[in-house]
Amino acid sequence: MPVDLVAFKDLHQYAVEHGVELVAVSKTKPNKDILVLYENGHRVFGENYVQELLKKHEELPKDIQWHFIGHLQSNKVKFIAPFVSLIHGVDSIKLLQAIEKEAKKNNRIVSCLLQMHIAKEETKFGFDIEELRSAAAEIFVEKNFPHVEVVGLMGMASFSENQDLIQSEFQQLKSTFDDIKSTYPEESASFKILSMGMSSDYKTAVACGSNMIRVGSVIFGARVKAS
Ligand SMILES: *Cc1c(COP(=O)(O)O)cnc(C)c1O
């Protein structure tokens, strides 16, 4: 399926008008599709699989900002630490420690989002609210991760047609985001990203306060491989 450039341009316009950042989710899609967007000025792409991201990073223009949006295993952090621009799905202290270690080795500060578990499904990863509060304390009070900059939160709503359910999940994430922000006012300047919303629910997410949307299939067409 070719890239839907009209859909991309509409989405880009929507993002500009609403002051949200658009992450084009290019997982499983070929380099040529990414280059179509690149040639139209887009630079921010999201990938879910480490091997695929490494290959694309090597083959594609170096000014692309790669966001890792999938579930990241601690032992794979070392591969992406040298170049990744934002890691969305940080869901454990162990992973944060691995990122700290690899970021330090690379003499970088790596930006991350903490993932909150908001969906009804058991299969989605993330901290619950209490874990998130205690992680925030470790990060902002104890300052245990000097080579990690936690710049916000990320979450995925239930896979559902029920827009009320999705909305209530996004509202929960937004209120947790506001809560952490007001608990740590000094960090507020950099704790500013709320990554929520995908092809099927980005408008609901933006209405609930999202300022970063991760959209794949609307732009690139449906994926063959599920995920
Ligand atoms: C695949 C994926 C997306 C994009 O999904 P679409 O429905 O194709 O827009 C967004 N976020 C995450 C975490 C994903 O894994």
Which of 37, 219, 21 lies closest to 113 in space, CA to CA? 21
State which residues form the domain around 15: 5-216
Task: Give the pLDDT of residue 227.
Answer: 47
Q: Is the pLDDT of residue 225 over 70?
A: no
Q: Is residue 93 part of a domain?
A: yes
Please identify, by atom number, the ligand 1 atom nearest to the C-alpha of residue 27: 1
In a domain, 224, yes or no: no
Nearest CA to ligand 1 atom 7: 199
Mean of pLDDT over the chain: 95
Please state the atom number of ligand 1 nearest to the C-alpha of residue 89.
13
- Taking the CA of residue 25 as reference, the ligand 1 atom at the shortest distance is 4
Parallel, antiparallel, or unpaired: how do β-strands 65-68 and 110-116 relate? unpaired
Q: Which ligand 1 atom is the nearest neighbour of the CA of 23?
A: 10
Residue 159 lies in a domain: yes
Choose among 199, 200, 166, 194: nearest CA to 179. Answer: 194
State which ligand 1 atom lies nearest to the alpha carbon of 200.
7
pLDDT, tens digit, 9 for 90 and up, residues 128-170: 999 999 999 999 999 999 999 999 999 999 988 899 999 999 9
- Which residue has the least CA distance to atom 13 on ligand 1? 69
- 3-class state of residue 50 by DSSP: helix
Token pair listed for 86: 């934002």
Instruction: Report the domain count for the chain.
Output: 1
For a mutational test of ligand 1's pocket, the pick from 114, 116, 214, i.e. the residue with the most ligand atoms closer than 8 A to its C-beta, is: 214
Does residue 227 belong to any structural domain of this protein?
Answer: no
pLDDT band at 224 (very low <50, low <70, confident <90, very high): confident
> Buried b / exposed e across 2-16, counting CB within 10 Å, b at 16+?
ebbeebbeebbebbe
Nearest CA to ligand 1 atom 11: 214
Q: Is residue 127 in a domain?
A: yes
Please enumerate in sequence order all residues whose Cβ is within 8 A of that of 33, keeping only pairs 6 or more positions apart, or say none: 2, 3, 26, 220
The model's pTM is 0.96
Is 225 part of any domain?
no
CATH number at residue 119: 3.20.20.10
Å from CA of 9 to ligand 1 middle: 18
Question: CB under 6 Å to ligand 1: residues?
Answer: 25, 27, 48, 69-70, 156, 198-200, 214-217
Query: Which token pair is 116?
Result: 């909150």
Is the pLDDT at 1 greater than 80? The verdict is no
